[in-house]
Amino acid sequence: MGQEVPLLNEYKRDFFWKRFPQTLLGGPKLKLGFSAPAYVYINQLTLFLLPWLLGGLFTIVVELDVLQAYIAYYVYGACMVMYVLAAQLISLIIQRRADTVAAFQATNVLAEEDEVEFDSCCGYETFQYVVPLKRWKINILLHGLVSGLMGGLGFWYLLPSVLNPLFNNIGATVMIYTFGWLTLCIAQYPLSTGSPPEPASFRAIDNLELLPLLRPCYVLICLLVHLAWTFSPSSLLLTNQILHVVFIFLPVLWCLGILPPLDALVLWLMEQTLVHFLGGSPMAGDLRSFLMFVTSVIIAVIAYFLPTSLAIIVFSACFGYILSLDLSILANQVIAFIKQCVKKPTNHSPSHKKKSSPDPAADETDDKLKAMGLGWMFGWRELLINTCMVLVVGAISGVCTHFSSSAPSSVVRGLGYAIIGLMVIVKILGECQKVFVFWGLLRNKLYPDSISSTQKYSKRKRQLHRLGFIKRFLLDLVCPFVMEAYLGLIVAYAGLTLPSFWFAVGAVYSFRRIWQHTSSSLLDVSILHILLELSVYGSTTYVSWWPTDYGLQLIFIGLLHSWISQSLHKVYCYLTILITSYTIEKQRRKSSLPLIIISILLFPIVIATIMASSMLSAPILPLFTLPIMLIGFPRPLRLWPGAVGAAANVCADTVYYKQLEKSLRGVIRRAVAAGSLGELRPGSFLLLRFQDRMAWLQVLECGYGFITISLKGMELQETSCHTVEAARLDDIFEAAFTHPKEKFPVCSLNQFPMHTLTPVDAQPVDTYSDARNVLTGIIDSPDTLELVDSCFIKTLVWLLMRHNCAKRKDLPTPSSTNSGSNIGNFKESGSVSSRTRLVQTKRVVSVSEDSGRAESIESKPMSSQVKKQQQPKRKSLVGSWHSLDSWDDDPLELDVMNSKPKLNSSAKKNEGQVLKEPAGLPGAISDISDDEVDDILNEFEFGLPAVDIHAPKKTAAATKNIPFTQRTINLNASAQFSSPHSSKLSLPLKWREIPIDQNLLAPLLQKFPLDWYKHVIAQLGIESSKSPEDIAAEIGSDEALTTMYANLVMACYGIVNVFGLDGMSAVGAGASHVYKVYSGDIPWSMNQEWLTSDEELHVIVLQAYRFAFKLAYDQTVLGEASDLDEIVEYLQEYESDWYMGRDTDVAWSEAVESNKPRLFSLIYDTNENTYNGRVLSRQPVVVHIGQLNSEMVRSLWSSLSLELFYFTNDDEERYSIQAHPVILRNLTVQAADPPLGYPIYASKPISIPTW
């Protein structure tokens, strides 16, 4: 942290010293940051001391024998109820009156944010400050009843006549009476007012107002034990005396934050009972924990009532196996099936009377899980396997128990030594899979020396996987059955006819744990057999407190195993923080050396603190990450409240971790099955490092054949606090997986033995590789810019023709067309058949075929300038509708059609030619009047100009002689197609009206690549009886269709690369023009709105430009394409395997989620003033995996909770100096659940089978 950086800044120190007296006294605000009238303090002291004064009065009355104790108990309890109700009701009445008739209160805008303006002793502000209202009115009554119960029992608890016989010491009586009443007042004050700031904060917001009940709860525990002592004085005497002493120290425990909140206490008790007494596992959620706890208790109770030891053992063995399975998968499938059954079909569906079909997305997910292998779903295979396993388990346990009395000792001893041998073999095979052995000190020589050589690495890993398969076979199929037989021979109860409760609990624990935690159970049963050898077959005797029942012995061994394991990890955590506080210069403070000396002198106290926290399964709490260790309050192993994966700071990079989750499941499955990740158990943490990303894995639950994890994605910001720790991680993984001489020596030591992270494995994961290339020298090269310019025309031709061809194939037939559906889908599809639109008029339309028919219509807003320039007459528009009454095209040419400009390879003959408007075709729409045409046109929202109906009508010839300033292109009534197949590529009607002056467009038509156009036609694969070559030649020679595409393509090209550049060429505009167009920013021109208002065409043009840039870039880097076929291969690959766009678009995230093979984006770095190309390629990426010290993570998280919830130490300066390269403090803080941490992705619990 540095010597000059304060742990708390000046403002936070003042804030703490104002808050601490509230915590100590239970809520009275005696130290304010502003001047307040004396009655504010007097009111608070009165509320605080009134229970003590009233209790003292009743104590005198009882001690003088004026009133009996039990009567005083009831009366005092009733007084406490009335006291709380009166305080809250008076405050409620005053504040409600003030809310209705309160006058305007002048406030001091320069006052502190927590400063209050008080008016009078009983004013609104005074009561609101001293006695704030409860959030839920029902809590007024509830807190009053709790106050009465606590007050009555507390009064009796602290009577001198009760304390004297208990301690037989007047001094002890006086001390306990005095400080006991102080404790009682501190616990009672939150019930009357509100909860004080608690260092033990489990949730950020107390929605249910449970915090006021925290202190009364622990007081009531002491009082209820004293009440039970009255019924059993001999057995509970010592416990009652100890709790009386603890009672007066409760305020100290509350200030230190050792006692957990009620919700954390309940969850912690359920978890500890489930793990240490019922043989279960910590669960991945509150609901799952509650259901598993209740189920396990029911199983234990049923086992208790079974008549024989044989029945108990067989019952416990069978249900021990069943409960160790991943029942959440089965539960989720049952819930999904029930939802599907009760789901009612909507009446809007045409088939609402039929059975609703299942969700296709859900079916697809189920199919993928089934394809991944055994264990991902609970199907018939899993049901068959588990049924056979239950039968085998029941048979082995029943047979062994039945013959336990007659079985020779050699069999028992042989099975015991077999278990010890299996434990050693499994441990060795597991160590062979890891990078480091002997507690992470030595490099494993069997592990591949380097991951740079993929072939050698894969070969060695396959060899190790064979050993891993043997280890998994022994651990999953051999060890449990051997332990099952061993326990069946020794656990059999032969005493009472009705077995004791503890025997049933021991049997349920023993036979479940061998399946739930097989590796840990191997060690426990091995220790049990050693003790059995020493006691039964040797001369050693048990100590008096050690149980004789073998099931209870396993419970004790399991507890000691857990406590010792936690203590060792916590000692390591403490020593690491202690040593690095001085050895790392940036962490060194003036107090570092004195703290080290004090820690050495008080080391026994430190060890006692660590052991106490281990016995409570609570994290140690390094205050401000200094070597000052406190005991954090006990909480569930997953540490955070609420549902797993319910909150995350979602950003643009979240999608990459979401995609990683799908690929990571199979990798984790193989690694866990092989044992390369070590012995994972609930509470373990793994850190995944690949490229510039990191992922955090937390093990939530484990059992037989499965493991449940949570994945969190980390954000790497460009700050020093992130860079320091990330760089250290890279150094650790590089030292572990690569060697300068490409081969590690035989005894290679771990270069970072004291680090919180130990590398365990490296696995290839199918995810995205992110590469960024600086395009300086390429994108600004004139040759590249010219290549982009020419490629744009080609890619636009390619996309337009393929788009129209695919669209024609999807068009509905006239018989199947429904007018209602077309109306509904008009805006969605962007096109609709013209014939279908005319059918909606319900008139008989004469059939007159025309080959220049437009197939689709979409009305788009036109710019005002374009509207002014285009003034077509109604007759011209009506005449253009002659092509809309025919579905099929006629190859015959009509004489009435005007000649069209022809396009050859040189395109010089088109200069100066203008498309003429055709005369009306007689009989085309003769059955429709002009008014009905108006209705149709209004329905299409063409925005026709006003027409003077009294003006004399002009002929077509007269119309041609009208002068106008801009001659736009109208392809609505195009020339006859010479090929019957040309209609399959015909342009939609909305793209035939191009509001661009023909004089501007004519010079651009020279650039139209006619050879490429014909080559693209040959690639379309149009279905016909003729050969593809003949069809391509026939369509390519159709000059009418060619003219259509030439005008449209070059119009779009002109808008993008010519008209908006103020006379400059696209090459002269430079790289900025390429970047802007790639990003969707087309230069403004008078014709730009025509393109941008048509969403369909706009998307195609943007995609074409992005394809063009990528094509030009590839040809610049890899060499120009040799022929047109190579360009086709490029474009086909772009369409099938690439997504091109901006990496900030939603479509980019959708492409990542859909596992698009490659993505490309063009980025401009404003800081470096450079253009970069970003390429994401989905491929196997080596992911380095390291295991974190679980106690270090829990310690930092508990310290973070205290620091942010209680000290509110959220300064930006502190965030910038908290980087710690050894304990990874900053990354650990980031991985915490919001609001304390800020992971960008948090998954829901993921169950992974390990079969």
Tens-place pLDDT, residues 107-157: 444 344 456 777 777 777 788 888 888 888 898 999 999 999 999 999 999
The helix (H) or strand (E) run that includes residue 76 is helix 69-101
Lowest mean pLDDT among 219-228, 493-502, 507-516, 713-722: 493-502
For the chain, give the number of residues: 1251
What integer is the mean pLDDT of 980-987? 79
C-beta separation of 509 from 278 below 8 A: yes
Tens of pLDDT, residues 169-217: 899 999 999 999 999 999 999 999 888 999 998 888 888 888 999 999 9
The set of long-range contacts for 41-49, using a CB threshold of 8 Å and a minimum separation of 24, is 43/121, 43/126, 43/130, 44/130, 47/87, 47/130, 47/131, 47/189, 47/192, 47/193, 48/185, 48/189, 49/185
pLDDT, tens digit (0-9, with 9 covering 90-100), for 548-577: 788 899 999 999 999 999 999 999 999 999
What's the rounded Cα separation, in Å, for the pair 323 and 343? 31
> Which residues does residue 695 pair with via DSSP β-bridges, in sequence order?
688, 713
Asked if 1229 and 645 touch (Cβ cutoff 8 Å), the reply is no
Long-range contacts of 124-127 (CB under 8 A, 24+ apart): 124/94, 124/95, 124/97, 124/98, 126/39, 126/40, 126/43, 127/90, 127/91, 127/94, 127/95
Residue 369: the pLDDT is: 52
DSSP per residue, 609-625: HHHHHHHTT--EEEGGG
Q: SS in 3 state form for 171-214? A: HHHHHHHHHHHHHHHHHHHHHHCCCCCCCCCCCCCCCCCCHHHH
**Interatomic CA distance for residues 560 and 772, integer angstroms:** 53
Tell me what pLDDT residue 1212 has.
52
pLDDT above 90 coverage of the chain, percent: 43
Prediction pTM value: 0.81
- What is the DSSP annotation of 345-394? PPTTSTTTTSPPPPPHHHHHHHHHHHHH-TTSS--HHHHHHHHHHHHHHH
* Residues 6 or more apart whose Cβ sits within 8 Å of residue 819: 836, 839, 840
Q: Is the pLDDT of residue 1063 over 90?
A: no
Cβ neighbours of 545 (radius 10 Å): 6
- The CA-CA-CA angle for residues 623, 628, 631, to 5°, reads 70
CB count in 10 Å sphere of residue 854: 25
SS3 at position 1233: coil
Can you give the residue ranges of every domain in the chain? 10-259, 270-341+361-437+470-541, 567-631
Question: Residues 1124, 1106: contact at Cβ < 8 Å?
Answer: no
Residue 931 pLDDT class (50, 70, 90 cuts): very low
pLDDT digits 0-9 by tens, 818-867: 333 333 332 333 333 332 332 333 333 333 333 333 333 333 333 333 33
Angle among Cα 847, 851, 852 to the nearest 5 degrees reads 110
Structure tokens belonging to residue 238: 């010592």
Please say if the pLDDT value at position 877 is more than 60.
Answer: no
Exposed / middle / buried, residue 134 (Cβ in 10 Å: 0-12, 13-18, 19+)? buried
DSSP state of 435: S
- The answer to whether the beta carbons of residues 655 and 1152 sit under 8 Å apart is yes
Helix, strand or coil, per DSSP, at residue 994: strand
d(CA 132, CA 94): 11
Helix axes 782-809, 1010-1019, angle to 10 degrees: 40
Q: Treating both helix axes as pointing N-terminal to C-terminal, what angle do 309-323 and 380-402 enclose, rounded to 10 degrees?
A: 150
Give residue-wise pLDDT tens across range 390-432: 999 999 999 999 988 888 888 999 999 999 999 999 999 999 9
| Of 533, 603, 519, 532, residue with least CA distance to 561 | 519
Q: In whole angstroms, what is the distance from residue 636 CA to residue 267 CA?
A: 6
Q: CB-based burial of residue 1185 (10 Å sphere; 0-12 exposed, 13-18 middle, 19+ buried)?
A: buried
The answer for residues whose C-beta is within 8 angstroms of residue 1236's C-beta and 6 or more apart is 204, 1197, 1200, 1201, 1204, 1205, 1229
Residue 1008 is classified by DSSP as -
Cis peptide before 1235 (omega within 30 of 0): yes
Weakest-pLDDT range from 57-66, 388-397, 742-751, 1203-1212: 1203-1212
Over residues 241-264, the pLDDT tens digits come to 999 999 999 999 999 999 999 999
How far apart CA 899 and CA 970 sit, in angstroms, is 14
- Strands 693-703 and 685-690, by their bridges, are antiparallel
Taking residue 201's Cβ as centre, other Cβ atoms within 10 Å add up to 18
